[in-house]
Structure 1
C-alpha cells in the first residue's frame, strides 16, 4: 500500500501546529529536568514519566498523522487523539505543579529547573488547546471519549494516578508512625479504580464494545458503581487521617492534597454513574 503524506496546507493547520508544540515543549522539559539532578523522589519519577510518556505518544501520533498510516492500526483514532489530548493536559498540569513544589527545593540547578517548569506549563497549555479544538468538533468526529461521560472517565484515571503517587509518597514518610493500614487500604482502592479505568479505556480504544461478555452499558455501570463505593471508603479514610495526623506539616500537605483529589474523583464517578443509569433506563424504555 503506498504511503500517503499530508498536503502542504495540512502542515500549517492549528491541530498539527499544536501537536508540534507539544512535542517540542515536552522534549525541552524532560531534557532540562534530566540534567544534573540530585533528587530521586517519587514526585521526580512521576514528572519524568509523565513528560517522557506523552512526548513519545504525541510524537507517534504526529508521525502517523503525517503519513496517514493510522487507518491500518486497529485502534479508534478519534477516541485515541482526544484521550491523549485531555489526559496529557491533566497530567502535564500535575507535573507542572509537583515539580516546583516538591522537586525543585531539593535541586541545585535552580535556573535550569525554572525553565523546565515554564516549558512544562507550555506543554500543558498546548494539550489544553488541542483538547478544546477536538472538543469543538461534531460528536461523530471526536468519538465517545470526547463526550462528557468519556471526559469523566479520563478525569477518573487522572485522579487515580495522582492518588497512587501520593500514597506511595505517604507510605515512605509514615512507615514508622502507624496508621499505615489505612494507607494500604487507600492504595488498594486507587489501584482497583485505575485498573477498571484502564480496562474501560482499552475496550473503547480497541473498538471492542461489541465483544464484551455483558452489554457495554451494564459493564460501564458496574465499574462506575464500584468506583463510587471505593472512593466513598477512600474519602472517609482520608478525612480520618487528617484528624489523626494533625501537627505533622509535611504529611498533612500530602494528605490534604490526596483528600481533595479523592473528593474530585468521587464527584466524577458519581456524575458518571448518573449518566450510566440514565443511559441504561433510556435503552430499557425503547
Structure 2
C-alpha cells in the first residue's frame, strides 16, 4: 500500500478489457517473433521491415502495459492517455501493413524452396499477425472518444486521423525513395515539398498534444490545428492534381506500365503508389477538416 491508501499495482490494468487486449498483443507478438526467428525467416528488406514492426510493437506494448500496471504514468511529464491512444493506432496500422507484406513476399507458393515445414511456419506467422491487427484495433475501439466522456485529443477521430495521415505520408516517402524519379520535373519536386511539409506539421501537432503542453501555448491550439488542416487539404489537392500529370501524361511520363520494367524497383510502380496514397491522404485530411468543424460547431452550440 502507498501512503495515500491505494495499491501500488493497478489491478484494472490487468482485470479489464483493455488489459486483456494488451496481454493478447504481447502473447501474439512473442509468438510471431519466436516463429520468425525459429524457422519462418525474414530475409530481404520486406522481411526485415516486418520483423521490425513486430519487435517494435512488442517492446512498446510491454512498456505501456508495465507502466499501467505499476501506476508510473502519474510520474511522467506527458499526456499518457494521448500517448497510448496514438501508439495503439500506429501499432494497428503497422500490424496491418506487416500482415499484408509478409504473406505477399513469403507465401508466393505452397512450399517454399526450403521445405513445406517452413511454409507452415510462415502461414502461422501470417495468422498470428492478422489476429494481432484485431487485438490492437480492439484497444483503439476501447480508448476512442465516446459521448459524455472527457478524453484527450488523440482519442478523438481527428487525433486518430492525424496518426493515419502521418503513416500514409511515410508510405509515400518510401515510394518516392524507391526510384520514383521525382527530381526530373520541378512540379513533382513541389509535390515532395507538400508531402514533407504536411508530414512535419502533423508530427509536431501530435508531439505537442502528447506532451500535454497545449494550454501553455500563446495561441489557441485548436484553431491552429483547424487552419492547418484546411491548408493541408488544399496542398494535397494540388499535389493530387499535379503528381499524376507529371508521372503518367504522355508529354512528361508513361501512361501505361513499360513492358521492360522490372518486377521490383520499377519507377512506374513507385509513381503509382505515390499517386494512390496522395489521394488517400487527401480524403483523410478532408475528413479531418469536416470532423474538426463538426466538433467546433457542437462546442459553440453548447456554450
TM-score band w.r.t. shorter chain:
0.7 to 0.9
2:27 alignment counterpart: 24
1:167 alignment counterpart: 176
Q: Which runs of 5+ in 2 are unaligned?
A: none
Which one has a bigger Cα radius of gyration?
Answer: 2
Q: 1:96 to 1:5 in 2, by over 3 A?
A: same
2:275 alignment counterpart: 259
Q: CA deviation at 1:181?
A: 6.3
2:62 alignment counterpart: 59
Counterpart pick for 2:198 among 182, 193, 198: 193
Q: Which moved more, 1:103-112 or 1:220-229?
A: 103-112
Deviations 1:132-161 (A, max 9, x none): 122275554542222222122122122112
Q: How does 1:116-127 map to 2 (within 5 A)?
A: 116-127=125-136
Counterpart pick for 1:83 among 83, 86, 91: 86
Q: Secondary structure at the match of 2:44?
A: coil
Counterpart pick for 1:68 among 67, 71, 82: 71
Q: 1:213 to 1:150 in 2, by over 3 A?
A: same
Please identify which structure carries the higher helix content: 1
Q: 1:238 to 1:107 in 2, by over 3 A?
A: farther
Q: Secondary structure at the match of 1:214?
A: coil
Counterpart CA distance in 2 for 1:96 and 1:152 is 21
Q: Which moved more, 1:205-214 or 1:186-195?
A: 186-195
2:257 alignment counterpart: 247
Deviations 1:175-231 (A, max 9, x none): 6x9847676554443332222111111111111112224320232134323422332
1:223 alignment counterpart: 228
2:210 alignment counterpart: 205
Counterpart pick for 1:157 among 156, 159, 166: 166
2:44 alignment counterpart: 40
Q: 1:178 to 1:216 in 2, by over 3 A?
A: closer
In the alignment of these two chains, the number of paired residues is 280
Q: Which runs of 5+ in 1 are unaligned?
A: none
2:123 alignment counterpart: 114
Q: 1:179 to 1:48 in 2, by over 3 A?
A: farther
8 Å CA contact 1:27–1:55 kept in 2: the answer is yes
Counterpart CA distance in 2 for 1:281 and 1:78 is 25
Counterpart CA distance in 2 for 1:138 and 1:168 is 42
CA RMSD of aligned residues (A): 3.4
